[in-house]
Structure 1
């Protein structure tokens, strides 16, 4: 190793710290949220100092499960001359993402509070709805899926924005939960 002004260097004369490369840790692919998976991959590429579009392309196709690779087989078999990774990313997201209409229908039909806190449920609906869905529409769906005791209080707070209402609903949810647990304890 050569010395350069007191800093150790490697073969190309770069300081050793600059030439060190971190391995890419590929997260499990999530077909429900391919955009999120690509954000995770891009964070790994930054950590590993991978900037080449072609290297990113080959990392992704090398780690895609066969069933999802089938969805972009045309791009894998015949990649564009430039922007291979960008094309693969955009097409995989487009082909696997549910249509906007399907997401709105899911909001209307299937989504329930379940064991989530109201704020978690709100963020889930917000994510599912995506941009462009009117806040009043989201407010109506979210409020209608809350327990009746919470709905009454939330409905009286029409001037607050949804994020504030979600925090209020969490506090109500916590208090009601404590009361229910206390009642169950008394009955036992």
Structure 2
């Protein structure tokens, strides 16, 4: 009497498996995800897709893929699809309904960047038509402009556009500033100590302070200052500034 075997699944240490009758000719080999990879794919949850900054969103998403060791094209693609809100998904529904069989993730990423990202001309137009400083700090405005530049080194025109967004008094004080490292804000001399002072505040706004430094007005961003807690019953001593620049050459007598 013949004994019929049911289809069975045999797992091996190398994460391969054989599906079908173990003694029959019609089974086939396949590969499965390791336990850690499967758990990571389930645990990861990306934030909702940022239609205003799609490239930055993908930078963060791909950092998460690296941390969670997710390399599967399909897994990455479905994570991105699940991060879209209703309105965004509707704009790319034709791709979602019929994705390619291979390279789904890079094709979908390119589509989203084309649909929601800014072209070079659009980024240039935004840089040339900024709305001023508004409620932002100068450092926040600089960060926004650098994001629009997308890695391009700031040039003379870039610096001038930035300065024209600032109030007149700050614009004047920063007119000769060195923007070789634009994220640092107000330039600092080499080997300068983190804090000096006390210095008198001449005037300030929500993001910057203008201080009297040795009889000369200089502008500083708020995050470069440290508050001084004084006893108003005691006289305030203003420090004597160290001479900056090269020391004078000795004179022969």
Normalised to the residue count of structure 1, the TM-score between the two structures is 0.71
Q: CA RMSD in A?
A: 3.1
Question: Once the 2 structures are TM-superposed, how far is the Cα of residue 78 of structure 1 from its aligned partner?
Answer: 2.1
Give unpaired runs (5+ residues) of structure 1.
Answer: 1-10, 178-188
- How many Å apart are 1:61 and its aligned residue? 1.4
CA shift digits 1:94-135 (9 cap, x unpaired) = 111123222222222233212322222112112123345761
**How far does the alpha carbon of each residue in 1:41-76 deviate from its partner, in whole angstroms, 9 at most, with x for none?**
222223333211011112221231122122322322
CA contact (8 A) 1:139 1:162 kept: no
- Retained in 2: the 8 A contact 1:25–1:44? no
Q: Which structure: larger Rg?
A: 2
State the shift of 1:144 in Å: 0.7
Identify unmatched segments of 5+ residues in structure 2: 1-10, 15-33, 189-203, 212-253
Question: Which of 107, 121, 126 does residue 141 from structure 2 map onto?
Answer: 121
Aligned length: 163
Measured after TM superposition, the shift of residue 30 of structure 1 is 0.9
Question: 2:73 touches 2:105 (CA, 8 Å); kept in 1?
Answer: yes
Partner of 1:175: 209
Which of 41, 45, 49 does residue 69 from structure 2 map onto? 49
- The 5 A counterparts of 1:20-169 are 20=36, 21-22=39-40, 23-132=43-152, 135-157=155-177, 160-161=179-180, 163=182, 166-168=185-187
Question: For the structure 1 residues 133 and 156, does the alpha-carbon distance in structure 2 shift closer, same or farther, using more than 3 Å as the test?
Answer: closer
Change beyond 3 A, Cα 1:28–1:164: closer
Cα shift readout 1:131-188 (whole Å, capped 9, x = no counterpart): 457611211110111121221122123x55251772349xx963239xxxxxxxxxxx
Answer 1 or 2: which has greater helix percent.
Answer: 1
Structure 1 residues 160, 127: closer, same or farther in 2, change over 3 A?
closer
Distance (Å, rounded) in 2 between the aligned partners of 1:62 and 1:164: 35
Distance 1:42 1:145 in 2: 34
Compared CA separation, residues 48 and 12, structure 1 to 2 (3 A): farther
Spell out structure 1 runs of 4+ moving beyond 6 A. none
